Amino acid sequence: FPEMLSNPRLILVQGTLNVVMKQNVTLSCHSESGSPPVRYTLFKHNQKVSTLKRPDLTPSLFNLTINSASDVGEYKCKAENNNTRGGKYSKSLNFTLIEPISKPVLSSPTSQAKKGQNVTLSCLAENGSLPITYIFFKGRQSISLPMKMQKREAAVIFLFINSSGDFGTYKCRAENSFRNNTKYSNSFNFTLAAEERSHSQPLIISLVLILLLFVIGFALAIKFFIIPSYKASK
């Protein structure tokens, strides 16, 4: 007697669910029980991709190539025979596209700072599959814990400018699950604010004026007091 099909199983037999561009993958759709022949149809987001017919209960293999971002997402398969109305559906498989990250950009709302000031640094890679992990560096030393960002948004750290050593070179590093794709940002330096640099200028000007007045006063003293006194004594 004709037998209804069991729900098919959709499994990955070649490749990975985390895919890169131009990667080939193979999916197997199989109902373990039911009366053949069986017609298997592969769907992506409820759109038909391909249909294969099997004269027996052996699996149907679907070969795919990931050519664009539209090729990833949710896949299901449907099994049908002459005794199964509407067919039976499998559970879904989801492919995720892994893209290499672009060089991150390190920036700050200000490039000048003074001692005792709080500043921020932001690091963002415009391209690359999520999540992306960022780490901040000063010179070659890391100054933050790894920051895993699940959204396309910048990682931010807050710094306190406490000494002249805090005006060094900063960088950040970004990486995701794409193999061998760690990228470093541009260098960023904070410079001493102009008002901070100018604090010493009034002092220097004052010292110069005092010295100049001293010289002028000494010259006048020689002219009007010391020289007349010397002449009078002769």
pLDDT of residue 198: 47
In 3D space, the residue among 44, 62, 43, 65 whose CA is nearest the CA of residue 52 turns out to be: 62
Instruction: List the domains of the chain with CATH numbers.
Output: 8-97 (2.60.40.10), 105-192 (2.60.40.10)
- Contact predicate 69/97, CB 8 Å: yes
Answer with the residue of higher pLDDT: 148 or 219.
148
Calculate what percentage of the chain has a pLDDT beyond 90: 62
From CA 94, how far away is CA 164, in angstroms rounded?
A: 52
The pLDDT tens digits for 102-112 are 999 999 998 88
Give the largest CA-CA distance in the chain: 150
The pLDDT tens digits for 128-142 are 989 999 999 999 999
The pLDDT tens digits for 14-55 are 999 999 889 999 999 999 999 999 999 999 998 999 999 999
Annotate 41-58 with b (16+ C-beta within 10 A) or e (fewer): bbbbeeeebeeeebeebe
The pLDDT tens digits for 84-100 are 778 999 999 999 989 99
pLDDT of residue 62: 98
The pLDDT tens digits for 147-190 are 999 999 999 999 999 888 888 899 999 999 888 889 999 999 99
